[in-house]
Chain A
């Protein structure tokens, strides 16, 4: 497309930045990234097999039962890396399988669109075989006949990389009939999306996969009971599935020990930093690594500025303060602090940046991306945007902050059809708690006679 001559084009072309070199990344300590090359080139089948790739497909499919696999995941305490942290082993144990149940689907959620999240991209662009291997093992455990990788449409390089890897895996017999002589059949289809954040919600994703509008479905039934085309369907995040091969290769205890006494969650995590840090990017580190350690690796805040607040794992997680940097980053510790680990990629906010402005930006995102199915989300989010825009300009009215508080409550867990609205409420609620004075500074007027009316979605 571009002729490649201008220096600018190459300089600003996006590349994932994993800040650990090959010499630092070891099989025993970096199960997700140890095979990656410093050059960033794709690890192809030959490279992957030369580094033990697919060996565990052979041993697990021939030597372990699906229940053994599930037990290992439970013991390893592998928790979903898509943001909710649900135990992968427990989810798999609830999938309907066996006598009398049709073979269903294993869906890899590769829709990565959570603001501030850029981890699955690295795994898919540079090492698609690890994902494929994880999916084969997942399919075996859940008795899935076909896998789908639901990839967001904008991930062009990841699509090419996955497509090439699928071809390679088929030719080598890792996909298809009678995999590794085990009698188990499984194949994977790459499906690319056409935009909309809500597609990442697992039941909306299933609707999208079926070629429908991506409105979430009511639960129960859970996808593991009745998902795509009514068949048992397991949905897992890219990073979750990429953890599976090493757990089965080295054992659940090894995996659990990777995080040591930092955390009861097992394993490592792709952590990252974005915003105005000196050195943004990714690191594979043990679960329970603290925010302080990660920010230290990122060289602190740019130009010696001070940290004001941070989001621990994407736009739908609650803001935390500098004093929270010493907490172990795992699902329970961050949950207990009133936020969520989410995707584990930190967004830093510096002292001079406006919290009201950030919240305005976040709620514009959530308002635009609401699927419109339920009223509190469809109407409440544009309302919050309108108030936040006014407060940002210093044109807020008395009572606006109280309305925002009410909205944050009414959009909270259990009040709407899916977790999109609670995801929008969480940063808002935390901002109003920790930075109330910034909102108060935006109240410039007494309440006008017209009160507050909602704005049509189209304007947001």
Chain B
């Protein structure tokens, strides 16, 4: 893995943005060991690129002074670290029990219909990526969903058109 990753680095020439390097370095001070900043580093890179390309893994590893396998292992574990390009906006739909009991499946199907995509897919215009998510802690207003940083609930299928309009 590490050899291959290093080759990717060489060929793709992925460089961490200087601001991101600074942000990652600032994180290091919060922990006893540099590996701990790994998740935050992945999130920093994701904030800039929208996702975490393979070539970013060795770059982050080098910045932290840890092996690329450790970073790769973490990057593939956590559900909010995206390893494929996503659209301009990410929709997270809660599929847990309280929302299930308040018509989650209707909302999900309406989203599939409205966007013409299924979970894990991005609309052809690259506007929305649709993903299921664990209980959003908005269970008293199910069915709940997030668009980027905004949490909504209860969302009825008829609300979708107007709601999505705000995200261009």
Contacts and interface: CB of A to CB of B under 8 A. Distances in A.
A409 interface: no
B162 interface: yes
B74 A347 contact: no
B136 A154 contact: yes
A154 B96 CA distance: 15
B74 A213 contact: yes
Contact of A9 (B43, B74, B166): B166
Interface residues of A, number: 67
Interface in A202-246: 208-214, 228-229, 231
Given A3-B166, A345-B139, A315 B35 contact: no
A115 B98 contact: yes
Interface string A344-360: 01011100010001100
A14 B138 contact: yes
A12 interface: yes
Interface string A173-184: 000000000000
A195 B165 contact: no
A361 B100 contact: yes
A1 B80 contact: no
Interface stretch (A39-47, A129-137, A269-277, A325-333): A269-277
Contact of B77 (A11, A213, A272): A213
A116 B36 contact: no
B155 interface: yes
A14 B152 contact: yes
Interface in B63-98: 70, 73-74, 77-81, 92, 95-98
B140 interface: yes
A6 B147 CA distance: 15
A3 B137 CA distance: 25
B31 to A, nearest CB: 7
A9 B166 CA distance: 8
A203 to B, nearest CB: 15
B58 interface: no
B134 A8 contact: no
Contacts, number: 182
A193 B39 contact: yes
A27 B81 CA distance: 42
A211 B78 contact: no
B144 interface: yes
A186 interface: no
Contact of B140 (A2, A154, A274): A274
Contacts of A8: 159, 162-163
Contacts of A9: 152, 162-163, 166
Interface in A1-26: 1-3, 6, 8-9, 11-17
Interface in B33-70: 33, 35-40, 42-43, 70
Interface in B86-141: 92, 95-98, 100-102, 133-141
B101 A353 contact: yes
A369 interface: yes
B154 A12 contact: yes
A349 B31 CA distance: 44
Contact of A210 (B35, B134, B162, B163): B35
Contact of A194 (B35, B80, B97, B100): B80
A12 B97 contact: no
Nearest to A280: B140
Contacts of B31: 209-211
Contacts of B19: none
A197 B96 CA distance: 11
A116 B135 contact: yes
Given A275-B101, A365-B97, A212 B35 contact: yes
A117 B134 CA distance: 11
Interface in A398-440: none
A76 interface: no
Contacts of A14: 136, 138, 141, 144, 151-153
A27 to B, nearest CB: 26
B126 to A, nearest CB: 17
B165 A6 contact: yes
B80 A195 contact: yes
A113 B137 contact: yes
A201 interface: no
A153 interface: yes
> Which 4 pairs show the lowest CB-CB distances between chains A and B?
A195-B79, A2-B166, A280-B140, A194-B78
Interface of A: 1-3, 6, 8-9, 11-17, 112-118, 120-121, 152-156, 189, 191-197, 208-214, 228-229, 231, 272-276, 280-282, 311, 315, 345, 347-349, 353, 357-358, 361-362, 364-365, 369
Interface of B: 30-33, 35-40, 42-43, 70, 73-74, 77-81, 92, 95-98, 100-102, 133-142, 144, 146-155, 159, 162-163, 165-167
20 contacts: A1-B148, A2-B166, A6-B166, A9-B162, A9-B163, A11-B159, A17-B140, A116-B97, A116-B98, A116-B135, A117-B139, A120-B137, A191-B40, A194-B79, A197-B134, A209-B36, A211-B35, A211-B37, A229-B32, A280-B139
